[in-house]
Chains A and B, each alone.
Chain A
């Protein structure tokens, strides 16, 4: 085992990731070399320092509630559905009225056509973005 491999094994020991069978050998190496003992102490010190960083954390009860709270967004989705559904229905009605030859002014017709076209463009853009993201994400099943 060269020096670099040994250092990685010492790191694994510090991280509790070393196979049990390897621990005695690595401990012997640490005890037998000033450099490796120093390496072990430094890694241990850094690990402790990082794990001691204070985090503002919510209390345990919050995590328990978070784990059980799933339907919170249901109302949000209902709202979105109502808004988008009504918008599409209204737009469809406006277009249908125009196609059937309403007497509305040209400005109104252009405006409605513009809104409909804009909606379609935005929708296509959103779909294209989703496809592009899913191609580059190895966790394809995860919704971003």
Chain B
């Protein structure tokens, strides 16, 4: 484990202990360290900005309520991610909220200026999402955790409950599969 990761885990543990002792500022700092990653992981599942914001907020609330029972010796992000994942999956399981299509292109577009660049990037994003959606669930999830959740191998291992060696081989196979899907798409 690198020094940076060790220091980060140590900081988390300190913030968790303070938050468990009632320090709300510490809880805010702790969440702020991971909020963006959580939002991205949620967005990847629900594919809607407002829903992703709501679920991220709900994740923060649930974490706050359950923090007392969390063991500070354990890594925090996998636990937080699991809350967000459960909430997101429960959300899309409800038929009235089902929305797993392509991302909101108009929102992506709104962040860019050049119309041509907007069109190219929207098509590129759509093509990538289509390819990812064609992966099997295990491969899709590991790609999501690595590329969008920005998880380390150790965090992925903790979240999925598998050894790091399996994380590496599954991630590699998922990438190879994704690459071949993208190649086939481009050839069309």
A54 / chain B contacts, CB cutoff of 8 Å:
103, 108, 111-112, 121, 125
With A11-B168, A67-B32, A141-B69 in contact, do A46 and B178 touch (Cβ < 8 Å)?
Answer: yes
A109 proximal to B (CB < 8 A): no
Lowest 7 A-B CB distances belong to which pairs? Answer: A56-B107, A67-B31, A50-B147, A67-B32, A141-B69, A63-B35, A54-B108
Cross-chain pair count, CB within 8 angstroms? 113
Proximity bits, A114-126, B CB within 8 Å = 1, else 0: 0000000000000
Task: Tell me the smallest distance from the CB of A135 to a CB of chain B, in Å.
Answer: 15
| Pick from B61, B69, B110, B128: contact of A53, CB under 8 Å | B128
Q: Is A12 an interface residue (CB 8 A)?
A: yes
For the residues of B in contact with A, the DSSP-based class is: helix
Residue pair A49, B128 in contact (C-beta under 8 Å): yes
Q: How many residues of B contact A (CB 8 A)?
A: 56
Q: Which residue of A lies closest to B2 (CB)?
A: A20
Residues of B within 8 A of A103 (CB): none
Q: B residues near A, CB below 8 A? A: 2, 24, 27-29, 31-32, 35-36, 39-40, 43, 49, 53, 56-57, 60-62, 64-66, 69-70, 79, 82-83, 86-87, 90, 103-104, 107-108, 110-112, 121, 124-125, 128-129, 143, 146-148, 152-153, 161, 168-169, 171-172, 175, 178-179
